[in-house]
Structure formats: C-alpha cells, structure tokens
Amino acid sequence: MTNARELFLYRREGAYIPRIAAVHDLCGYGKCSLGVAIPVLSAAGCDVCPVPTSLFSAHTKFPTFYMHDTTSMLDGYLDAWSEVGIGLDAVYSGFLGSAGQVGAIQRIYADHPQALRIVDPVMGDGGAKYPTYTDEMCAAMAALVDGADLLTPNLTEASILTGVDYQGQDVTDEFVRENMRRLLDMGAKNVVIKGISRGDGKIRNYLAGSDVAFEEVAAEQLPYMLHGTGDLYASALLAAVMAGKSLYESVAFAGRLVRDAMVITRDQPDFELRGVSFESVLGEVTGLV
C-alpha cells in the first residue's frame, strides 16, 4: 500500500485489503449508519471494523425509538484494540452518541496517525438538528474538521460547522463556495457538500479541496426523499476513494448508487421509513475494484 494519507488517488498494491474503523451507530430498523457502512465498504474490498457509538431500535425519524449511548465502553474498547495492535488505513466517522465520543475519535487518530480521516459530520438536515443531538455535541463535532482528509456535510451540517446561517436549499453556487472555503480554512483538506436541491429537478453535490478545484456534480432528482441517503452516499463515496477513484469520479459514483438504490426502495413496503434499500445494487460497488 502507498501512503494512505495521499487520498487522491489512493492506491492498493496487489491483493492488499485496507482496514477501516467505522465509528457510527448501529440501528436495528431503518437502514443507516453501520448497517450501510459495513456492507458497502466490504463490497469495495475493505475490512470494516465497527466502533459503535450508540445502539438504536430504529432511526430517529420514527416517532418512537430506543437509544443506548456506548460512550462509557469506548475507552475499554479502544484500550483492547491497542493491546491487540490493530492497524488502520482509514477512520470513517458519522452519527455520534455523545459529545465525549469526539475524544474517542481523536484518540483513534492519535493511535493511527497515517490513517485517512473521513468525517461525515452527521448532525441534522432541513435546517434542524436530529433529536438526539445537543448544542454541545455539535460544537464538539466541529473539532473534527481540522485535519479531515474528506468532510461530507449537507447544508444544515455545513451551517452548524461554519456558523453561517442556514438559508434553505435554494442557494447560489457562490454561497456553497463560501461555505466550502470556510471549511477548508478550518483545516479540512477536501470537502463534499451534498444534497443541494433547488427545486429545478436536479440534486447537486459540490466538491473542493486544497488540491481539487471547486466543481459541481448535478444529477436528476427523484421526486421523493428518503432517510439514510446521507449515510449511503458517504459510504459509497469512501468506497470509490478506497478503490482509487478521483474525488470527482467518487462524487459522481456515490450519487448514481444512491439514486439507483432509491429507485428500488420506492417499490418496497414502508419505503418512506425503511431507509435506503441498497442490497440489490451492491454489485455496482463490487464493480469498483
């Protein structure tokens, strides 16, 4: 393997299997987080090692859900990893159970300084925080921006991180560019802002980085939104990066995969709540490697 910190283009030598710590919640019903990251990244030929941040009976868009925050076990969990001597090529974080878990992620970074840092700063959408997120958690999440090799907020999360007011979805390229510039100034190396929908039938993802020009990738928008698309998008984006694709190619791939999975989900019972059913499009991920 070449230096994992050289994100684009990530190169694998021979049959090497990269190992990724996936720091997300585990959700019983309503496909998202680890339930997405493990299969998608495994299909891309990666060894996914979960660090569960919380256990949920169902995702938080259900009116009732049970949550168990795992913060108190993380020190022991990571101590045991240190003793075993696990080598990591990447650390991919998402939905957190508490503000204190940011410290656990920083500990993994310190223990694995060469590992890529992919931060999906899951905190909310549509201008509102998810119900389990507190202001303290959002403030803590901002500490993960500095040094992130790849940061993947939606507009709500970008606004929480930058302090620029959320202005809805119908924003100009200039507004998105300014948000990305702020995130790069805060220390992120590459930023993808996802899911911008201006009501013109397109959904847009934007990318920019210290060595990557600001670009837009627009695609046809399906006339319904589903829960868990952000997690599937970020996992597919990372899958493509780990397969050696450029950031632009990875952004385009992830958008196609989410769209294809959404089309299939539409035909399933309870399609609005079950999360994105990506199982039958995993072959597209396998095809990356």
Ligand X SMILES: Nc1ncnc2c1ncn2[C@@H]1O[C@H](COP(=O)(O)OP(=O)(O)O)[C@@H](O)[C@H]1O
Residues that bind ligand X (CB under 6 A): 125, 154, 194-195, 203, 205, 221-222, 225, 229-230, 233, 255, 258-259, 262
CA dist 40 to 31, 63, 144, 164, 285, Å?
12, 28, 23, 33, 7
Binding mask 84-113 for ligand PLP (x = CB under 6 A): -----------x------------------
Say which entry of ligand X, ligand PLP, none residue 32 contacts (CB below 5 to 8 A, set by partner kind). Answer: ligand PLP
Q: Which two tokens stand for residue 223?
A: 């006339």
**What does the per-residue mask of binding to ligand PLP show for 159-198, with x meaning CB under 6 A?**
----------------------------------------
Please, what is the minimum distance in Å from the beta carbon of residue 20 to ligand X? 19
Contact 88, 19 (CB under 8 A): yes
Tell the smallest beta-carbon distance from residue 15 to ligand PLP (Å): 32
Residues in the chain: 289
Of 73-81, 189-197, 225-233, 237-245, the window that binds ligand PLP (rule: CB under 6 A) is 225-233
Cα dihedral value 201, 248, 20, 288, nearest 10: 90
User: Is 56 an interacting residue with respect to ligand PLP (CB under 6 A)?
Assistant: yes
- The residue number with the shortest CB distance to ligand X is 195
Farthest CA pair distance, the chain: 54
Q: Residue 33, interface with ligand PLP (CB under 6 A)? A: yes
Applying CB under 6 A, the span of 25-33, 84-92, 170-178, 260-268 interacting with ligand PLP comes to 25-33
Q: At what angle do helices 229-242 and 247-265 cross, to 10 degrees?
A: 140
Return phi, psi of residue 274, to 5°: -75, -5
- The count of residues interacting with ligand PLP (CB under 6 A) is 16
H or E stretch at 114: none
Assess 205 for contact with ligand PLP (CB under 6 A): no
Q: Is 157 in the site for ligand PLP (CB under 6 A)?
A: no
Integer Cα distance of 250 and 181 in angstroms: 20
To the nearest 5 percent, what fractions of the chain are helix, strand and coil?
Answer: 35, 20, 40
The interface partner of residue 60, options being ligand X, ligand PLP, none and the CB cut-off 5 to 8 Å by kind, is ligand PLP
